[in-house]
Amino acid sequence: MRFAFPNAVAAVDGTLVEVERPSEHEGWYCRKAFPAVNIQACVDGNMDFVSCSIRPGAANDQFNWNSSGLRRVVLRNIPKEYHILGDAGYQKWAHLLIPFSEREAATDDYSTFGTRSRE
């Protein structure tokens, strides 16, 4: 396993891929103002793809997660002590670890944690 996070079983992220403008283009324009699809992919600890979903470009990472089959599988099958790593495009959730927010990062607890994790 390549993750340096205890009990991490996978990592998930979304990426925008530019596409030709569809004739029915509502919902296909992403936040960067071009027509796109938002692809959410999840890999396990061996970097093997275990899930992929594709939504219109206007769909953000959190929307993709909420509407994905992956989320339902995790809820039913992953014990609570295990988790998936995500980025700041996702919200905190029982099985989904995300980076500290700027507000959380400004606290003494965060500074102490960050120092310990680099030792």
pLDDT of 58 reads 93
Provide the pLDDT confidence category of residue 54 given band limits of 50, 70 and 90: very high
Q: Which residues contact 18 (CB under 8 A, 6 or more apart)?
A: 34, 35, 36
Q: Are 11 and 26 in contact (CB under 8 A)?
A: no
- In this structure, the chain runs to a length of 119
Q: Provide DSSP, 60-97.
A: -HHHHHHHSHHHHHHHHHS-TT-EEE--TTS--BTTEE
Average pLDDT over residues 91-110: 71
pLDDT of 12 reads 94
Domain extent listing, the chain: 8-117
Q: Are 12 and 40 in contact (CB under 8 A)?
A: yes
Mean pLDDT estimate for the chain: 83
Q: Are 61 and 87 in contact (CB under 8 A)?
A: yes
List, for residues 61-92, the tens digit of each pLDDT value: 999 998 888 888 888 888 989 989 999 989 88
Cα 92 to chain centroid, rounded: 10
Which pTM value belongs to this model? Answer: 0.75
List, for residues 7-53, the tens digit of each pLDDT value: 888 999 999 999 998 787 788 899 999 999 999 999 998 889 999 99
**Residue type at 20?**
E
pLDDT of 32 reads 92
Provide the pLDDT confidence category of residue 95 given band limits of 50, 70 and 90: confident
